[in-house]
């Protein structure tokens, strides 16, 4: 009888653990970052890295032709060539080529290293943005997903169109938009 009572007590204690352990709430964040999530965060990471470089090395700088090599946000290098123009009405125009070598960027949504060449063309101001990011066989590897750390690793064509409130395009032939 003593063993029977002990078995019932064990079941009573373990039942909630077993039940809660199988609930949807226990799914790890990594399992919630599917291919669409991965592509969204990869695009975000690439544009975020560009914006960091722009703010550190071009914002407020003279208009003209550029040929410089800078450090990536968290390592590696980027050789940048092309032109920038600033107009009196506050519109910026860029035609830049980023040759990335082990260029690493990161925030809570991604930790990626990029290798390859990306063309950046477009115009923007404080209220308007029409930018294009085009790369042929750009390689990226690392992790993506807000606090999910889903591993990604690819080398493919990437096209990103950025407006004031949207990123869309193709990564490895897959459409994304957010």
- pLDDT, position 15: 40
Record the tokens describing residue 154, joined without a space: 């690819």
CB neighbours of 29 closer than 8 A, spacing ≥ 6?
145, 146, 147, 148
- pLDDT, position 146: 87
d(CA 23, CA 140): 34
Strands (E) across 72-149 are located at 77-86, 92-107, 110-124, 129-144
Strands 129-144 and 150-163: antiparallel
Secondary structure of 17-40 as H, E, C letters = HHHHHCCHHHCCHHHHCCHHHHHH
- pLDDT, position 31: 63
- pLDDT, position 6: 42
* Tally of residues, the chain: 178
Q: Is 20 exposed, middle or buried (0-12, 13-18, 19+ CB in 10 A)?
A: exposed
Q: Kindly report the pTM of this predicted structure.
A: 0.80
How do the pLDDT tens digits run along the chain, 178 residues long? Answer: 444 344 344 344 444 433 344 333 333 455 689 999 999 999 999 999 999 999 999 988 888 999 999 999 999 999 999 999 998 888 899 999 999 999 999 999 999 999 999 999 999 998 999 999 999 999 999 999 988 789 999 999 999 999 999 999 999 999 999 8
């Amino acid at each position: 009888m003593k063993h029977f009572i002990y078995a019932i007590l064990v079941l009573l204690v373990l039942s909630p653990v077993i039940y809660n352990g199988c609930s949807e709430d226990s799914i790890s964040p990594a399992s919630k970052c599917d291919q669409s999530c991965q592509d969204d965060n990869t695009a975000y990471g690439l544009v975020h890295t560009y914006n960091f470089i722009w703010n550190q090395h071009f914002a407020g700088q003279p208009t003209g032709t550029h040929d410089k090599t800078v450090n990536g946000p968290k390592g590696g290098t980027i050789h940048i060539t092309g032109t920038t123009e600033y107009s009196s009405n506050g519109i910026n125009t860029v035609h830049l080529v980023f040759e990335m070598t082990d260029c690493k960027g990161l925030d809570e949504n991604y930790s990626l290293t990029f290798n390859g060449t990306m063309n950046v063309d477009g115009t923007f101001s404080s209220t308007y943005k029409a930018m294009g990011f085009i790369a042929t066989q750009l390689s990226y590897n690392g992790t993506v997903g807000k606090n999910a750390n889903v591993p990604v690793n690819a080398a493919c064509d990437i096209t990103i169109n950025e407006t004031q409130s949207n990123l869309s395009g193709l990564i490895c032939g897959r459409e994304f938009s957010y």
